[in-house]
Amino acid sequence: MGEHRYDPVTGQYTTGHKWDGIEELYTPLPRWWVITLVITFAIAIIYALLYPGWPTTRFYFPGLLGWTSAGELKTEKDAARAAQAHWRDQIAAKPVSEIAQSEELRTFAITGGRSLFNQNCAACHGLGAGGQQGQFPSLIDDDWLWGGKLDDIYLTIAHGIRNEDAESRQSEMPPFGEMLSAEEISAVADYVLTLSDAKAVEGRKALPGAAIYEANCAGCHGAEGEGMREMGVPRLKDQIWLYGDSKESIVHQIGKPRMGSMPSWKPRLGDDAVKMLTIYVHSLGGGE
Amino acid sequence: MHSGTVMPTAQRAMRQGTPHAASGRFRRIKTFLTLFLLGVYFITPWLRWTRNGETAQAVILDIPARRLYLFGLEFWPPDLPLLLGLLIFSAAALFFVTALFGRVWCGFACPQTVWTDMFFAIDRRIDQQFGRDSKAGQWVKSAAHVLVAFFTAFTFTGLFIDITTLAPQLISGAAPPAAYVTIGVLSFTTYMFAAHTRENICLHMCPWPRFQSALLDPDTLVVTYQNWRGEPRARARVPLRPALVDMFSEAPSPAASLLADNGPYRGDCVDCGKCVSSCPTRIDIRDGLQLGCIGCGLCIDACNTVMDRIGRPHGLIKMSTDQSALLPPGQQTAPRFLRVKPLMFAFVMLVSGSAMAWAIATRSNIDASLEHQRQPPFVKLSDGSIRNDYTLRFAHRGGDISSVGVSVEGLPGSAVRVSTSDLPEPAFLCNRRSVSERVMITVPKDSAPEGRVPVTLVLTDKGTHAPLARFQTYFWGPGGARP
C-alpha cells in the first residue's frame, strides 16, 4: 500500500495500489449514489418493521401497523356499504311492498338486485332468470310454484325450499311407483296430459285414469289440476312443465317424483339483499 | 457593409425579460384582440341563460350528467361526432388563414400569445411603477402572475361547475377533488408558461412552427424585412443611398439602382435594434422568414416609429410576400389571393361547416335504444302464449314529453306491456333523466311465429300522439332455432 499520488495526465489521485507498476486511479462511487443506497436500506428496514413479512417457524411478525390485505378489503367494502347506506337502511327498514312503491328505492333495488342475482342465483336460474327445463323453474313466466306476489317471492328467497331452514318451504310428493301399478300410472299420465287441453274437458271424464286421479292426485293438485301454491303443488292445467310434457316424463314424475330444493338466502346475504332480489325478480315480467 | 457599425446577429446579446413596447397599427389590433379574447374567456362562464324555466349557467359542461350546454343548445354524448366536425372545421380555418396571411393565429389569437401578452403588459406597468431592478417590483410581479394564473384556472373550472357557487364550494371543501386538481394544475401551468417560459413555448415546444413551412407559399403574406431597401445597415450619420431618396416619387429611378451596392452609403435600416427588442420571440426579422416569427407585426410598428423619426417612408418591415424582400417594387408581383391551396381549405371549411349546421338543425331530440333479451330468447306462459322481452333505454332533450306510449307493428294478435305500468295502453313516464324499461311483447299460442320474425316497436308521445322513435327488431318464437 502506497501513498495517494497525484497523476498529472488525468488530473486525478491514485488509490496507492500498485501491481507490476500499474496504478489504479481513485474513482470512488458518486456520493449521491452511496447516499441513495443507504436510504434504500433504511426504507427496507422501516418497511419490514411496519408491514408483515418476517416468518418464524410457527408465526409471522405482523408488522407495527397491523396491516392485512383482508383488512384493507374489509375497509373498502365497509366504505362501499356506507356509500349505499342511505338506500340500504331504508330498504332494511321497509317491507318489500313499500319499497316497490318508491321509485328511488325501486330503481336502487333493481340495479343492486340484478348484480346480486347474477352472482348468486344465475348459476341455477340462468342470467336472464329463464331457468333450465327439467331442472330449475323459470322466474320470468307467469307460473309460480310458491306464489308470485312480492311477499311470496320474498319468503321463498329468504328461507328457501326444502332445506334445513326451519321456516323453509316444505312439501313432498309421495312416490306413486310404490303404490300404483305401472298400468295405473300410465293411465293417470294419459289423464294428466289432457288437463292442459281446454277442449278435452268433456272427453277426459271417460278416461280410465280419471278415477285414479280423483282418488290419488286431486287432493293436492286439485280436481281440475289447478295446483296449490301454499304447498308448492304445481298447476297441471297450464302449458308449463318443469320436468317435461311428454308422457314418459310424466310417468317418471308420478312414479319417482323429483322435487327441487333451494338454499335459504337470508342468512347468507342479509335481509336487505333478499329484499332487493325480490324486487328484481318481481320486475322480470312474471311478478303478480 | 461598413466595418464597426453593425454587430453580427450571433454576437448581439439575447434580450431577457419583457420586450419593449411598440405602438402602431399592429399593436392596436393585438391589444384589441387580446382584450376581446380575454374578455370572452373571463366573462363567458358568468353569463346566465333561462333553460326549461330555470336560470342556469349559459355555457357549462356538466360532466356527471354528461351534458354540454351552449346557451340554447344542449349536447349529449351521441352528439360527439359534431366535435369531430368542429375540429375539422377549425383545422381547415387555421390552415386557410395561415396560407393567406401567415401565422396570424400564432401572433394574435393563440392562448400562449394572448396570456404572454397580458403578462408582458403587467410586467411593463410594474416596471414603470417600481423601476426595472426593484426587488419589491419583482415580488409584486410574481404576486400578480400567480393571481392572474389562479383566476385563469378558476374561470376554466367554472366551465364545469356552476361558477357562481364555485368559490364557496372551494373554500368549504365541498368541491369535487377534480376541481382542486384542475385549479392546481392549470394555475401552475399558466404561471409557468405565461410568466416564465413564455416565448420559449413557441420556439421549442410548440409543433405548429414545425409544419407551418408546408402551408406557406411565395404568395403568403408574412412579416418581411425589405432587404433591397434596408441594406447596407449603418448608423444614421452615414449618408443614405441616393437611389433610395426619392424611390416613391413620380419618376422612379431605374430599379436596378435601388439594390444595394458597395458605395459609402447606407440603406434605410439604421440598425437601431428596435425590431429585435420589441419582438415577443426575440428574433431578428432582418435575417428573413424564420421558425421563431409568430407574425404579430410588432416589429413593423417599432420600425415605422423609427422611420417616422428619421423622416423616411414606412414599410421597411411590412406584411408582404417573402419574395418581395429582395426585389424592389417595380420587379415584384402582386400577391394572388385566389390560389388553389387556400381555396381548398375554404372548401373543406364550407363542407364541414354546412355538414355541422345540417346535423345540428336536423338532429333528433330522442336518444333511445332497444335490446332484445336473449336469455332466454322467449318465454312460454301458462296459457301457452309466447312472450319476448326487450330492454328499452330512452332519454330526450327538453322537458316537453311527459309520457311515452309503446306499441307494436307487424305482429298480429300481439300485446305489449312495460314493467312499470299495468295500464291497458302501455306507456311509461319520462322525466328528464334517462329511463330504462323492460318491454314485453306477448302473442297467443296459436299465432306465435316459428323462429324469428321482424317486428317494429313504435314510441309515441302520449300528449301529442306524435311518433318519437321506431325500432326494427325481431320476435322469436319456438321451433325456429332447431332445423
Q: Is the same domain home to A30 and A93?
A: no
Tens of pLDDT, residues B260-275: 555 677 888 888 888 9
Total domain count, chain A: 3
Residue among B27, B28, B49, B31 nearest B39 (CA): B31
- Residue B438 with chain A: CB contacts under 8 Å: 283-285
The one-letter code for the residue type at A70 is A
The residue segments making up the domain with residue A127 are 72-169+261-282
The pLDDT of residue B13 is above 50: no
- Provide CATH code, domain B366-476: 2.60.40.10
The pLDDT of residue B16 is above 70: no
Is residue A203 one of the residues assigned to a domain?
yes
- How many CB pairs (< 8 A) connect A and B? 49
Find all residues with CB under 8 Å of B148, minimum gap 6, and list them. Answer: B118, B119, B122, B190, B194
The pLDDT of residue B398 is above 70: no
Q: Is the same domain home to A158 and A271?
A: yes
The pLDDT of residue B414 is above 60: yes
Given this model, what pLDDT does residue B383 score?
Answer: 86
Chain centre to alpha carbon of residue B322? 28
The pLDDT of residue B482 is above 70: no
Q: What is the CATH number of the domain that holds A209?
A: 1.10.760.10
Chain A contact probe: residue of B382, B388, B441 with most A CBs at under 10 A: B382
Tens of pLDDT, residues A25-41: 988 899 999 999 999 99
Is residue A273 one of the residues assigned to a domain?
yes
The pLDDT of residue B370 is above 80: yes
Q: Is the same domain home to A77 and A24?
A: no
Share of chain B above pLDDT 70, in %: 89
The pLDDT of residue B235 is above 90: no
The reply to whether A140 touches chain B by the CB within 8 Å rule is: yes
- Give the span between the Cα atoms of B431 and B434, in whole angstroms: 8
List all residues of chain A from 202 to 261 with a beta carbon under 8 Å from chain B.
235, 238-240
Q: Give the residue, B330 or A243, on which the prediction is more confident.
A: A243
Instruction: Give the mean model confidence (pLDDT) for residues B361-371.
Output: 84
The pLDDT of residue B395 is above 90: no
Q: What is the DSSP letter of B35?
A: H
Given this model, what pLDDT does residue B467 score?
Answer: 84
Largest interatomic CA distance in chain B: 114
Q: Answer yes or no: do B379 and A141 touch at CB < 8 A.
A: yes
Domain ranges in chain B are 25-80+104-203, 366-476
Q: Is the same domain home to A36 and A7?
A: yes
Nearest-Cα distance to chain A for B58, in Å, is 30
Given this model, what pLDDT does residue B468 score?
Answer: 85
Q: Answer yes or no: do A143 and B438 touch at CB < 8 A.
A: no
Residue among B186, B208, B219 nearest B281 (CA): B208
Given this model, what pLDDT does residue B424 score?
Answer: 66
Q: Is the same domain home to A82 and A182?
A: no
Is residue A115 one of the residues assigned to a domain?
yes
Q: Is the same domain home to A190 and A221?
A: yes
- Give the span between the Cα atoms of A216 and A229, in whole angstroms: 18
Tens of pLDDT, residues B130-150: 887 888 888 999 999 999 999
Q: Is the same domain home to A193 and A223?
A: yes
List all residues of chain A from 95 to 134 with a beta carbon under 8 Å from chain B.
126-128, 130
Q: Is the same domain home to A271 and A141?
A: yes
Instruction: Give the mean model confidence (pLDDT) for residues B54-80.
Output: 87
Q: Is the same domain home to A120 and A149?
A: yes
Tens of pLDDT, residues B119-128: 999 988 998 8
**Three-state secondary structure along A149-196?**
CHHHHHHHHHHCECCCCCCCECCCCCCHHHCCCHHHHHHHHHHHHHHC
Query: Among the three residues A18, A37, A67, which one is the final residue of a domain in this structure?
Result: A67
- Give the span between the Cα atoms of B461 and B396, in whole angstroms: 12
Helix H or strand E encompassing A18: strand A12-19
Residue among B192, B124, B123, B125 nearest B152 (CA): B192
Q: Is the same domain home to A93 and A226?
A: no
Is residue A288 one of the residues assigned to a domain?
no
Q: Is the same domain home to A201 and A275?
A: no
Instruction: Give the mean model confidence (pLDDT) for residues B1-24.
Output: 56
The pLDDT of residue B438 is above 90: no
Chain B contact probe: residue of A121, A132, A142 with most B CBs at under 10 A: A142
Share of chain B above pLDDT 90, in %: 30
Is residue A287 one of the residues assigned to a domain?
no
Banded model confidence at residue A2, pLDDT cuts 50, 70, 90 = low
Q: Is the same domain home to A89 and A139?
A: yes
Banded model confidence at residue B257, pLDDT cuts 50, 70, 90 = low
- Give the span between the Cα atoms of A49 and B394, in whole angstroms: 56
Given this model, what pLDDT does residue B8 score?
Answer: 43
Nearest to A239 among B373, B374, B383 (CB): B383
Q: Answer yes or no: do B382 and A283 touch at CB < 8 A.
A: no
